[in-house]
Structure 1
């Protein structure tokens, strides 16, 4: 009986060893075959033509951001009006067409900005533990800011660009006047301004020259300059130049008159801003300066009166 038990135990141990060896061999074979397949795949990808491996070489922007921008553009077109693209294109022209900004990117950026601000506001309000009415209001406001964020950026660019153009216009007209009076043609005078000055006005004059070089008329190119800006002085200058070109009026006389008018307008604007200074100083004077002055002047007297009434 003891011998039978020993033999049974030995058979069980032998069976366990055989099964373990079989399983280990199978796993080892699988591992080796898996490694071989991985090495073969790497070699195939390395030696494959560029047409087959270009999908693996694309950047994160091409693989992820481009499809995301396309989906956001579809959503933006559904939510915006039919003339939204034309209005954005007009605003981009007035803003000077910033690098990398297109109509499609602006529309997609509005949707992506709204979604991003929504998620950020939800996370922040949840972390701060705000109550539901205030939390909903903050989320809605943040989503609206994200939607109108690209528009606000473009409005700021338009304002800054218009301010620079208004400031540099009188000097540019003076340079044109000197150039025309010295014997240059009007186109050459514009070229002198575009070459010797910097800023958005010089860029616009360079664009006018390029448009005339590709075949547009002078009047049409100047009207395009007026359409790409919202500065009244530039528009009046373009109108005067177009009329002078149409009626044959000497350009030098028109430029001299325009230069004088621009400087008078600039001086008047400076005087207007100077007249607004006292009104603008009233609010900080009342709420910031006068309280501090009253505390410094009346504070010791109030303390002395309080000590007198308290019998100290």
Structure 2
């Protein structure tokens, strides 16, 4: 019995030792495998890890924008790039806006507008015809959203150029009559004023400094805007430079004419006020006035008939 007990105890101890060795070997292999995997990831070539190190915008957004750009070029006409470049020039070249970004933004805007319109129609619970109209309208609105933005920017910039032009011409006239040259007078306007007109004059100076002629630089200023007064001023300056007419005299005439035009525009706006106020007068003011005046009389008449 003692011998059997000793043999059984030896067998149990041997089994425990073998089991512990097997567990230690398996754990060692698992740790070794993990360490080898980490070492392989850290020692991998840059060609394999650079895709993971790139930011989300470069990995996802940029390829999406490139696909939208290719699709937008197919949908747009052959002269769309030139037309968009012209719109960007008139709008003052907003920061970050390029021809490719506008073309790609049209496609992305159409997709976003379609999705938003679809969700909105589902929330309203409209029928299929109304849903199709809403979705189509959202896609069209999203497609033309970048163009509308550029149009609004160009309109605001043109209005600001028209407001700043009389003061700028007065400052040019005073500077030239004080003895400065025309280029120095433009530099004074660009330095002492702010706004799109000052930026345009500064660009004219930079173009002349890199070797472009004064007439060409001024014509470029006229091409970058659609304000008639700016075009008239540039045409007068180009003709004065070509025919040798004194700049001070031309500036004096331009200053007086632009003042007259500004006063005429103010009078035109004043004449439009009675016409524009007719609609709110009919639909908003007169009904309230009728209620206040005729209301008590109507109540008295109704009480009398009762």
Normalising by the residue count of structure 2, what TM-score does the alignment of the two structures yield? 0.89
C-alpha displacement of 1:54: 4.5
Whether 1:208 aligns to 2:204 is: yes
Partner of 1:83: 79
Whether 1:44 aligns to 2:40 is: no
1:2-37 deviation per Cα after TM superposition (whole angstroms, max 9, x unaligned): xxxxxxxxxxxxxxx9xx999978975664345224
Once the two structures are overlaid, the 10-residue window that deviates more, 27-36 or 199-208, is: 27-36
C-alpha displacement of 1:196: 0.3
C-alpha displacement of 1:63: 1.5
CA distance in 2: counterparts of 1:295 and 1:37, whole angstroms: 88
Partner of 2:34: 35
Whether 1:148 aligns to 2:120 is: no
Partner of 1:69: 65
* 1:288–1:24 distance in 2 versus 1, CA, 3 Å: farther
1:223-264 deviation per Cα after TM superposition (whole angstroms, max 9, x unaligned): 000000000000000000000000000000000100111110
Partner of 2:12: none
1:76-115 deviation per Cα after TM superposition (whole angstroms, max 9, x unaligned): 1101000000000011011000000000000000000001
Normalising by the residue count of structure 1, what TM-score does the alignment of the two structures yield? 0.87
* 1:24–1:278 distance in 2 versus 1, CA, 3 Å: farther
CA distance in 2: counterparts of 1:155 and 1:23, whole angstroms: 77
Partner of 2:131: 135
Secondary structure in 2 matching 1:208 = helix
1:192-219 deviation per Cα after TM superposition (whole angstroms, max 9, x unaligned): 0000000000000000000000110000
Correspondent of 2:174 among 171, 178, 202: 178
CA distance in 1: counterparts of 2:185 and 2:51, whole angstroms: 52
Whether 1:96 aligns to 2:92 is: yes
C-alpha displacement of 1:123: 2.0
Partner of 2:234: 238
Partner of 1:12: none
* 1:181–1:301 distance in 2 versus 1, CA, 3 Å: same
CA distance in 2: counterparts of 1:260 and 1:142, whole angstroms: 49
C-alpha displacement of 1:128: 2.4
CA distance in 2: counterparts of 1:159 and 1:237, whole angstroms: 20
Number of equivalent positions: 289
CA distance in 2: counterparts of 1:288 and 1:22, whole angstroms: 94
* 1:178–1:293 distance in 2 versus 1, CA, 3 Å: same
Correspondent of 1:113 among 94, 109, 134: 109
Whether 1:287 aligns to 2:283 is: yes
C-alpha displacement of 1:134: 0.6
CA distance in 2: counterparts of 1:254 and 1:184, whole angstroms: 15
* 1:56–1:253 distance in 2 versus 1, CA, 3 Å: same
Residue segments in structure 2 that go unaligned for 5+ positions in a row: 1-15
1:43-69 deviation per Cα after TM superposition (whole angstroms, max 9, x unaligned): 436xx77x8754433222222111111
Residue segments in structure 1 that go unaligned for 5+ positions in a row: 1-16
Whether 1:247 aligns to 2:243 is: yes
CA distance in 1: counterparts of 2:41 and 2:221, whole angstroms: 57
